[in-house]
């Protein structure tokens, strides 16, 4: 849910003559193009790699607690890499080269992710956690430099559209990678060679990150970092360099992540172990969320640019709260896919709002530091949520009596999903009102904004066309 991605690499020593350089794209245009192309390669690594890490852990009989740790600890450790990244950013000639070495580290990290658990399967889950932590250390290392760079290349009122376009590229490519990876795993599972399927997927993910680094090396030179004359520490920056509005947003974002991760790590257990879905069905469930994102990201980006990211957060955080509650009421595969499709729709908007609000709420020179601080707050919430969820697994009963109605799902996990949704409602209802939109945007009452939401706006336009045709 957060932007942890790469940008572009210095080419100041590529030997091009001035006449040739004058016909090349400008550094700004070249950086924008790379942001989209890198998203494509990153999406393959996500869809065919990151999304299946929990399933890979189950191959080594990972416990619910180990899945919680796999979800939380690498992210938590990775965000501290952002602090280091901001501190050492002046060591690099530009932000492009800064990001380049982070991408190289991501590429190489897929080797221990695959090899270490296979060599020592009795310690497989813990070795996987350690290797994934290294991967996310490098992933987060690139985030402040990339976000600072790309937002400098964009006008404030076009960020939503650009990031929506990039996220849409990621969503579509991820969908294809998810589907192919699920089919591949099911094929090798049939042959009782499931580990071979994971090997093919993870090696492909590493090669794609390498390809991203190759493309990055051809991007034109970009400006050096703009630095403040006097640097401050992160705690000082949080106290004096940010507004009360931004600090309240951070509290909302961190607690929302905590509420979400109460349920997040356990869907793979519920779907693969409790409901006994095949890997291709699990991959299709994941892909349904990606399709929801792909179809609505441009509309969410336009909504945020026009009406502000606070309005975007107000709608999506409340709507996303009710989706996990639905898992109590059905287990059929079409039902599960439908719920996750609408989950993708809502998360597309929520993710854009959380990312873009950070860019708008601080000064341009502070964006790298603000991204790092926001990531750490979110990771702390992430870790809190997974710990709470793993504790609830051991305490929540597997059946519930409500009057004459008895709810008895296949396990207690749907009840934990329901509680996660309830926590999200509480966070949204109590904290959304405490911060406001930092940009000048078009103002409109919420009941009128409702018809500007993706899907609803399309339905309204279709109904108007149908009415006009009848007349």
Cβ atoms 420, 295 nearer than 8 A: no
Cβ atoms 384, 105 nearer than 8 A: no
Which among 256, 453, 246 is positioned nearest to 360, based on CA atoms?
Answer: 246
Extended strands (E) in 55-166: none
Radius of gyration of the chain (CA): 22
pLDDT at 262: 93
pLDDT at 38: 80
Domains and CATH numbers, the chain: 26-225+233-456 (1.20.1250.20)
DSSP H/E element including 400: strand 400-402
Q: At 15, is the secondary structure helix, strand, or coil?
A: coil
Cβ atoms 9, 142 nearer than 8 A: no
CB count within 10 Å of CB 89 equals: 18
Q: Would you write out the chain's pLDDT as a tens digit for each of its 471 residues?
A: 333 333 333 333 334 444 444 455 565 666 677 778 788 888 899 888 898 998 899 999 888 889 888 887 777 777 778 778 777 777 776 777 777 888 899 999 999 999 999 999 999 999 999 999 999 888 888 877 777 767 776 766 777 778 778 878 887 888 888 889 888 988 888 888 889 999 999 999 999 988 888 877 766 555 555 554 445 566 666 776 678 888 999 999 999 999 999 998 899 899 998 999 988 888 889 889 988 888 888 888 888 888 889 999 999 998 899 999 999 989 999 999 999 999 999 998 999 899 889 888 888 777 777 877 888 888 889 889 988 998 998 899 888 877 777 788 889 999 999 999 999 999 999 999 999 998 888 887 766 777 677 766 655 555 555 455 555
Residue 134 tokens, joined: 């290294």
DSSP H/E element including 115: helix 95-119
pLDDT at 4: 38
Cβ atoms 117, 58 nearer than 8 A: no
CB count within 10 Å of CB 80 equals: 15
């Amino acid at each position: 849910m957060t932007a942890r991605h790469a940008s572009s690499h210095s080419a100041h020593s590529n030997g091009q003559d001035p006449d040739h350089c004058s016909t090349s794209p400008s550094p700004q245009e070249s950086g924008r193009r790379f942001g989209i192309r890198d998203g494509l390669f990153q999406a393959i690594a996500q869809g065919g790699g990151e999304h299946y890490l929990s399933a890979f852990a189950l191959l080594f009989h990972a416990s619910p607690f180990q899945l919680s740790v796999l979800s939380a600890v690498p992210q938590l450790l990775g965000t501290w890499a952002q602090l280091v990244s901001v501190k050492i950013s002046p060591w690099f000639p530009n932000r492009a080269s800064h990001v380049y070495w982070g991408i190289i580290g991501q590429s190489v990290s897929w080797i221990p992710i695959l090899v270490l658990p296979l060599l020592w399967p009795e310690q497989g889950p813990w070795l996987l956690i350690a290797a994934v932590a290294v991967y996310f250390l490098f992933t987060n290392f690139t985030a402040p430099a990339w976000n600072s760079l790309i937002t400098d290349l964009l006008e404030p009122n076009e960020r939503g559209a650009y990031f929506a376009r990039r996220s849409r590229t990621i969503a579509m490519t991820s969908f294809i990678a998810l589907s192919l990876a699920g089919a591949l795993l099911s094929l090798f599972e049939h042959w009782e060679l499931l580990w071979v399927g994971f090997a093919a997927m993870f090696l492909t993910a590493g090669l794609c990150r390498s390809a991203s680094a190759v493309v990055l090396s051809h991007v034109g030179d970009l400006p050096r970092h703009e630095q403040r004359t006097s640097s401050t520490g992160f705690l000082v920056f949080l106290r004096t360099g940010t507004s009360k509005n931004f600090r309240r947003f951070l509290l909302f974002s961190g607690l929302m992540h905590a509420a979400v991760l109460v349920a997040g790590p356990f869907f793979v257990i519920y779907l693969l172990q409790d409901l006994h879905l095949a890997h291709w069905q699990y991959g299709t469930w994941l892909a349904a969320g990606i399709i929801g994102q792909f179809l609505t990201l441009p509309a969410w980006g336009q909504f945020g640019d026009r009406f502000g990211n606070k309005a975007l957060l107000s709608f999506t955080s409340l709507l996303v709260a009710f989706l996990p509650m639905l898992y109590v009421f059905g287990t059929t595969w079409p039902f599960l896919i439908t719920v996750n499709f609408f989950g993708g729709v809502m998360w597309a908007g929520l993710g854009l709002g959380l990312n873009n609000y950070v860019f708008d709420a601080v000064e341009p020179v502070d964006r790298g530091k603000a991204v790092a601080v926001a990531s750490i707050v979110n990771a702390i919430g992430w870790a809190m949520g997974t710990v709470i969820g793993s504790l609830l697994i051991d305490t929540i009963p597997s059946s519930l009596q409500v009057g004459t109605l008895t709810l008895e799902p296949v396990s207690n996990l749907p009840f934990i999903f329901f509680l996660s949704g309830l926590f999200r409602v509480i966070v949204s209802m109590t904290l959304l009102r405490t911060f406001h939109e930092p940009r000048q945007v078009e103002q409109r009452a919420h009941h009128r904004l409702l018809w500007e939401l993706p899907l609803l706006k399309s339905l309204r336009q279709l109904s108007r066309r149908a009415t006009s045709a009848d007349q």
